[in-house]
Amino acid sequence: MMLLMACAGTGGATREPPVVTQGEGGRPVVIARSYTLESSVLKETRRINVYVPPSYADGQTRLPVLYLLDGGEQEDFPHITGLAQLASLNHAMREMMVVGIEGTDRKRDFTFPSSDPVDRKELPTSGGSAAFREFLARELKPWVEARYRTTGESAIIGESLAGLFIVETFLSQPELFERYIAVSPSLWWDNQSLAKESATRLRAHPAGSRVLYLSIGDEGGGMQEGVDALVGALKAHAPAGLQWHYEPLPGEHHHTVYHPAAFRAVRALFPVPPKEAQAPGGAP
């Protein structure tokens, strides 16, 4: 369970420090539930963190699901959940539940086998993306659907190697999710083979209502080249029904791009229906 311990600040410079009762340990602030899931596909135990907004407590509300890669407490779960929580506070986007998949070996789970000896040397456990995708399809998604009230809508979000996995999943198994968010995807992997194959894969894509959101910081090199190749393929061969968005953020770096890109993506992919939109400040 994710716990945030309450702490007291010193207040303004001219104010007296707040008085804390001796022995007062504060109380836990609980924002999510944490589960363990035994995976027969991956042959290991995976920790799953789940956030639902307060509205879910009414016993009737159904929610879209945002699956978060690198979704552990010490990974991206706190800040992506914070973005989802904004939906309950300012109505700038639809409410959603967040299902965070804590990492065990991201270099294994998020990469397909590479023919590049340098890749294999630097990431010796790589090449397990097909098994991880099977885990999502056969075990995790059914587990979530059986335990939570959902709308049946699903999205997946991740950055860097997780973004590579998302692009690969979108190109190879597009029906697995309705919405895909890939931030600074590591399309340099395997000498950019996935990006180079993207046009061919897109030509074979089935028609369907899906959304792909791409963003990248000031990465340069093979990562930017790979994204450029994918964007070019999308311009030429986007299948019927696909909505895709490319929003580069050149003012951000690899270690700063995720949060601002994720906020833009979630707002774009989970817009509030016009009849439910509210004026600034929360006034109806």
Give, in order, the Cα–Cα distances in Å from 26 to each of 3, 23, 33, 57: 12, 9, 20, 25
Each residue's pLDDT tens digit, 180-211: 999 999 999 999 999 999 999 999 999 999 99
Distance of alpha carbon 103 from the chain centroid: 13
- 165-179 burial by CB neighbour count: b if 16+ within 10 A, else e? bbbbbbbbebebbbb
Domains detected in the chain = 27-271 (3.40.50.1820)
Whether the model clears a pTM of 0.75, i.e. scores above it, the answer is yes
pLDDT confidence of residue 15: 54
pLDDT < 70: residue spans in the chain: 1-23, 275-284
pLDDT confidence of residue 88: 77
Q: Locate 209 and state its tokens.
A: 């209502």
Note whether 49 and 33 are within 8 A (CB).
yes
